[in-house]
Amino acid sequence: MPAIQQAFQQLFSSAVEAKALTFQPTRPEFEGDVTINVFPFLKASKLGPEQTATAIGEHLKANVAIVDRFNVIKGFLNIVIADRYWTDFLVEAGSRDILQLEPTGKKVMVEYASPNTNKPLHLGHMRNIFLGHSVSRILQSAGNEVVKVQVINDRGIHICKSMVAWQNFGNGEMPESSGLKGDKLVGKYYVEFDKAYKGEVEVLVNSGKTKEVAEKEAPILREAQAMLLKWEANDPEVRALWQKMNGWVYDGFNATYARMGVEFDKLYYESQTYVLGKNDVLDGLKKGVFYDKDGAVWVDNTKEGLDEKVLLRRDGTSVYMTQDIGTAIKRFEEFPGLSKLIYTVGNEQDYHFKVLFIILKKLGFPWASELFHLSYGMVDLPSGKMKSREGTVVDADDLMEEMVNEARTTGEQLSKLDDITEAEKSRLFEQIGMAALKYFLLKVDPKKRMLFDPAASIDLQGHTGPFIQYTYARIKSLLGKAGRSEDQTIRPSDNVAADDGLLTEERTVIKLLHQFPAVLHESATHLDPSSTANHTYELVKAYNSFYQVVPVLKEEDAAKRDFRVGLSAAVAKATKKAMWCLGMEVPERM
């Protein structure tokens, strides 16, 4: 950057701010590593675009050692960086983790998962969980201190529905007696409630009531509503049942989380947080931030292009917004120095978070501008939309098991694992199946709605997690034959290979490695793991092209052989760390 600024000063007697200079990778059809668009600077140069670009290129070639040559295509200056720069980068990168950026001194909280305790986790939860967990790791690698939290939605009418159905139809069924995980057992009775409710509504409609009245008067719904009132009144029997059934669910969730490989630093429970926020809203009322209307407390966001929102009802009870206000305040009190709070929640809640952030700003909290809603699109299936009440969701445990079984089937068909134990095979298939699932969900921009295709996700030759794992295992095999580890990348003595010039395939791989820190920074800045996921795929795809063309271990020139082995080690090291950022493991062999 300083060299370009110096060129402008000397050539055109004009100062150019660094932020005005933009570099981009040279398009594949042209020779070059980086490209500069000179059109914005024609006024300063007082020359045509090609003359301006040529003048800058000649100046850089004469004065900057790493500029090997250049070419001009219309108003675009394509610069070829000298091979020595790339090999020097590899030597320098070999002494550190290029995917661990400098500490920022910032503490960031990421909320994800946040399930209801009336059903097991499903495919929709998986996108949330893998997204939040990956963002946490990416932020950590980008130099931040990260706090991972979840809110467990353990109260409300939906919880009481499962409880009522279990009381009415369960006959004392327990996880131990049923053979079901606790969350699946509770989810079973949530579905049973819906079936019973629909049956009662139909009976009432047939008796002459309107559907609207029938839906309100169904006995089992009224039973659930009565149970909720008892729960709120701390009825000991209801609370005991609630604790027992929630305990079943927590055991089930924990088993699912363990298989997913995710964890949390702090758990919040809605049964504790739902009382938060009332005093904060009342304080806002006193300060004139909110207003009273018929005994209820409201906020007016019409100036912000939104609408009016009730925060406390006339009877003094709160709404979801109220407790979210209180929970946010509590978090910043509990974690001093917290600089950012990220909510990983589906895009159906976009409006809710817009309102929440505006309210917290109106209340005068300086950190309110650092709140972020990591919004993501829903996951669809070839069979259509999932519905929890009807029991048509894709269960997370079942899907993980399906993916691991698919990995086993594919692996056994390849017949390359006869020399390892069954336990080692099981571990390998677990790694492959989970990577297939996670990568497929993470490679798509979070904002986009997506279709999950289990068969495509496991393809060893496709744009998949298993393909990346396969490349890593291939490199590990190569390194083993060369007597080198992935931590033994390019050494200063290997740098002599650059004297003969890099092959196109070598340059491509090195450039992708060189771009990785910037890609990681971009992923951390935009909270988007897909950038890291797709760049990892491009890296291993380029390495495979290199591997097919260049006989690494058969190279007779010892210096070139050592260089290429070191390059392979650098790819393995970066791939392993990138996959860690995405929440995936890489096996030593496949």
Q: Are 441 and 535 within one domain?
A: yes
Look up the CATH number of the domain holding residue 56: 3.30.1360.70
- Answer with the residue of higher pLDDT: 90 or 352: 352
Query: DSSP secondary-structure letter at 20?
Result: G
Query: DSSP secondary-structure letter at 467?
Result: H
Predicted local confidence at residue 494, as pLDDT: 59
Q: Which of 346, 380, 414 is the last residue of a domain?
A: 380
Q: Are 535 and 456 within one domain?
A: yes
| Average pLDDT over every residue of 184-189 | 97
- Answer with the residue of higher pLDDT: 298 or 556: 298
Q: H/E element holding 147?
A: strand 145-152
Look up the CATH number of the domain holding residue 161: 3.40.50.620
Q: Are 119 and 169 within one domain?
A: yes
Asked if the structure places residue 124 within a domain, the reply is yes
Kindly report, residue by residue over 450-506, the tens digit of the pLDDT.
Answer: 998 888 888 888 999 999 999 999 999 999 999 988 877 666 665 555 567 899 999
Predicted local confidence at residue 388, as pLDDT: 41
Q: What percent of the chain has pLDDT over 90?
A: 80
Asked if the structure places residue 324 within a domain, the reply is no
Q: Are 268 and 162 within one domain?
A: yes
Asked if the structure places residue 345 within a domain, the reply is yes
Q: Are 464 and 561 within one domain?
A: yes
Q: Are 469 and 517 within one domain?
A: yes
Are 168 and 282 contacting, i.e. CB atoms less than 8 angstroms apart?
Answer: no
Q: Please determine, for residue 389, whether its predicted confidence score (pLDDT) is greater than 50.
A: no
Are 424 and 418 contacting, i.e. CB atoms less than 8 angstroms apart?
Answer: no
Query: DSSP secondary-structure letter at 14?
Result: -
- Answer with the residue of higher pLDDT: 169 or 10: 169
Q: Residue 344, SS3?
A: strand
Residues 45 and 49: their CA atoms lie apart, in Å, by 9
Indicate the number of domains in the chain: 3
The region of weakest confidence among 101-110, 131-140, 228-237, 482-491 is 482-491
The region of weakest confidence among 1-15, 345-359, 375-389, 574-588 is 375-389
Q: Are 148 and 249 within one domain?
A: yes
Q: Is residue 1 very low, low, confident or very high in pLDDT (cuts 50, 70, 90)?
A: low
Give the predicted TM-score (pTM) of the model: 0.92
Predicted local confidence at residue 387, as pLDDT: 45
Asked if the structure places residue 353 within a domain, the reply is yes
The average confidence (pLDDT) of the chain is: 93
Kindly report, residue by residue over 500-548, the tens digit of the pLDDT.
Answer: 789 999 999 999 999 999 999 999 999 999 999 999 999 999 999 999 9
Residues 187 and 249: their CA atoms lie apart, in Å, by 9
Q: Are 170 and 264 within one domain?
A: yes
Predicted local confidence at residue 160, as pLDDT: 98
Q: Which amino acid is at 241?
A: L
Q: Are 169 and 196 within one domain?
A: yes
Domain of residue 46, residue span: 2-81
Q: Are 8 and 46 within one domain?
A: yes
Q: Are 141 and 231 within one domain?
A: yes
Q: Are 367 and 402 within one domain?
A: no
Predicted local confidence at residue 61, as pLDDT: 95
Asked if the structure places residue 289 within a domain, the reply is no
Predicted local confidence at residue 415, as pLDDT: 65
Residue given tokens 């010892």 in the structure block: 558
Residues 269 and 256: their CA atoms lie apart, in Å, by 18
Predicted local confidence at residue 493, as pLDDT: 60
